[in-house]
Amino acid sequence: MLNAVIRVAPFVVILAVIGFRIRRGSIQPAEIGWQRPLSFMTAAGWWLLFVVIAAAWELLLYFNGALELGGFKHSGLDAALRIVGMILLAPFAEELLFRGLLLNFLTRKLKNPHLAIVTQAAFFVALHAFAYAGTFAANVGIAQSFVDACLFAYARRNTGSIFTPIAMHMTGNAIAVIEMLV
């Protein structure tokens, strides 16, 4: 149980700090895209594009014998906390941090939105532990996370809302959780 709390705690801290900074006025909600999408159809299109890419990627891995299933050895409250962390807390915290704050900052500093998107995607991958495992599965995870981070960022920019990449990220993490439970 303690390990689950330790794994989830950083996401709670990120959300608390961002929430506190919004309340103090040092972060404006519009800066991080905390608003409805400009078009719900466009947001749904980005989410559907992500689902199609994720499904194609998973099928490609499956048919090549590279899809890793199972491995979730937790139960009870420990399992529930980990699953809530993966499907809800991580997507909210990571999207606010990477596609909200960091992407906004990099876009202003680099003046090139595409370079800002690639840069934040590199940071996103670097902060995930599998990036350093050196296994085939880890390398697949690196590639998949980099592409996902770029898609999430383009969705954020094109819809004007952080909620689009949050929905995409939650969907991707839900797929990963299902694979771990199978």
CB neighbour list of residue 85: distance below 8 Å, 6 or more residues apart: 4, 7, 8, 11
Q: How far is CA 100 from CA 27, 74, 107, in A?
A: 10, 32, 11
Mean pLDDT computed over every residue of the chain:
95
Closest CA to 152 of 139, 138, 167: 167
Calculate mean pLDDT across residues 8-15. 97
Distance CA 140, CA 134 (A): 10
What amino acid occupies position 111? K
The pTM assigned to this predicted structure is 0.95
Closest CA to 99 of 55, 140, 142, 149: 149
Calculate mean pLDDT across residues 143-153. 97
Handedness of CA 54, 55, 61, 62 (dihedral sign): positive
pLDDT band at 118; cut points 50, 70, 90: very high
Q: What's the pLDDT tens digit per position in 70-106? A: 989 999 999 999 999 999 999 999 999 999 999 999 9
Give the pLDDT of residue 69: 87
Residue 131 has pLDDT above 70, yes or no: no
Q: How far is CA 151 from CA 34, 36, 99, 154, 180, in A?
A: 18, 18, 10, 5, 23
pLDDT band at 148; cut points 50, 70, 90: very high
> How many residues does the structure list for the chain?
182
Give the pLDDT of residue 125: 95
Helix axes 76-84, 2-24, angle to 10 degrees: 30
